[in-house]
Amino acid sequence: MVFRFGSILRNVALLGALCLPMIAGPSSADEAAKEQPKEKKAVTVPAGTAMMVKTGSEVSSKDKAGRKFSATLEANLLAGDEVIAKAGTQVYGVVVKSVQAGRGIVASHANLVLGLTDINIEGTMYPIQTGSFSEESTGVILQRKSVVIPAGSLLEFRLAQPLTVKK
């Protein structure tokens, strides 16, 4: 019996080439299918949900309406049991109304109204509409008094419209 060494090597090489993909693991087509991002589902936070925020800087009745300010969430924002935004998430707001108390003999009022306008969730800005937070002070007999909300103050807002987020 005569063996041909060349044909044996050729058959072993062919067998190895056929089995190699099974040993090497999934093909690049299989890996590409796994790496496709999951479809994000929409989650809605209902209107009326409370948002506790901590102001990043001082806001006062000396500020003009339209002045923007930033704050951070003090507690997780939830839709049911699902966390939509974690505590520490950046939120942005605006001075809606600002009235500085004048000087005079009669009583005068300073008024400050704030609202939240945006929230940054995982790098995506979402517009929000909230009820307002307002403070008022009264100056009497030649006093000038402002409403001042110091940096680090805790304020509560409630969503006026539902917030829908892709998670």
Question: What burial class does residue 127 get, using C-beta atoms within 10 Å of its C-beta: 0-12 exposed, 13-18 middle, 19+ buried?
Answer: exposed
Length of the chain as a residue count: 167
Helix ranges restricted to H, the chain: 5-24, 28-35
Instruction: Look up residue 81 and give its amino acid.
Output: D
C-alpha span between 116 and 122 (Å, rounded):
18
pTM for the model: 0.71
Question: What burial class does residue 29 get, using C-beta atoms within 10 Å of its C-beta: 0-12 exposed, 13-18 middle, 19+ buried?
Answer: exposed
Residue 32 has pLDDT above 70, yes or no: no
Region 115-141: mean pLDDT is: 88
| pLDDT of 137 | 77
167 or 149, greater pLDDT: 149
| pLDDT of 92 | 98
Q: Which two tokens stand for residue 89?
A: 């998430």
Q: Which domains does the chain have, with CATH numbers?
A: 5-35 (no CATH), 42-166 (2.40.128.260)
Residue 13 has pLDDT above 70, yes or no: no
pLDDT tens for each residue of 34-71: 666 677 789 999 999 999 999 999 999 999 999 999 99
Task: Classify each residue of 80-101 as buried b or exposed e, where b means 16 or more C-beta atoms within 10 Å of its C-beta.
Answer: eeeebbeeebbbbbbbeebbbb
| pLDDT of 16 | 55
